[in-house]
Homo-oligomer: A and B are copies of this chain.
Amino acid sequence: MSVRRDRRERMQHQREELRRLRQRMRQRGHELRRMGSRGQPEESRAAILHAAAIEFSEQGIAGARTDAIARQARVNKALLYYYFHDKEALYGAVLDDAFGRMRAAIFHALDSDLPAREKILAYVGTYFDFIASNQIYPKLMQREMMRARAGDSQHIERLVKNYFEPIYRRVSELLHQGIKEGTFRKVDPAHFVPSMIAMIVFYFSGAPVMRRVFGFDPLTQERIRERRAAVLDFISAALFRPCAGAGSGVHP
């Protein structure tokens, strides 16, 4: 009995708080479309997506709890199902959002008008920076890559078609171009591209373990800058024709 009343009181209290919140927002001039009781459809959707991205990246689809996502998004669980049909679809939306941003960043670098040598460094650098400032992505990516088995993931096909394949094609072409020009060593894109991605992605997804192995945090600004240089150096050394140019243009 008293529990029930407590709950109801809390509920009512929450309602009032929301009303005040809404008024403040209106005063601040937030654009208001059609409104529900809370009146923030876009904000709610975004909050769910953001909370879901974190939860999925940390726990995986199976480990992620829809309750936890809802709580983090400060939204009722049923709202997840209102906006995104089910858990799997929500996961799909998170992936599309993530890889969409990634593709945009990478294509920006690949569209630049640079010689092969500089362009591949721009690609690696951009990719690195993107991952570094969005550290849930490498986990999301590796989790999904590992799930791509038999009939497991319904998303892979789409992700490959929309994101991975187009990016791979462009980078592959770039490598061939550099090889033909004589700037690059004769490498096989089907091996070199995964190697580059591996070096960028693995460092961040493996950071928690590395912290314990090394005895220091590999994710400080300083260390990340260091890593960036190391990756570019590694790739330069492995890709560029040896004994040709002098400096490798590593330092951004």
Contact = CB atoms under 8 A, between A and B. Distances in A.
A187 B199 CA distance: 15
Interface residues of A, number: 55
A190 to B, nearest CB: 5
A206 interface: yes
Contacts of A107: none
Chain A at the B interface: SS class: helix
Contact of A205 (B146, B190, B218): B146
A63 B13 CA distance: 39
B142 A195 contact: no
A198 B210 CA distance: 12
Interface stretch (A14-22, A110-118, A231-239): A231-239
A164 interface: yes
Nearest to A189: B214
A8 to B, nearest CB: 34
A76 to B, nearest CB: 24
Contact of A238 (B139, B168, B203, B237): B237
Contact of A60 (B60, B194, B206): B60
B206 A145 contact: yes
Given A164-B209, A213-B164, A192 B234 contact: yes
B213 A165 contact: yes
Nearest to A148: B208
Nearest to A62: B63
B209 A202 contact: no
A69 interface: no
Contacts of A58: 146, 149
A103 interface: no
Interface in A34-69: 58-63
A181 interface: no
7 contacts: A160-B213, A164-B212, A165-B213, A194-B203, A194-B206, A195-B198, A198-B199
Interface of A: 58-63, 139, 142-146, 148-149, 156-157, 160, 164-165, 168, 185, 187-188, 190-192, 194-195, 197-199, 201-203, 205-206, 208-210, 212-214, 218, 226-227, 230-231, 233-235, 237-239, 242-243
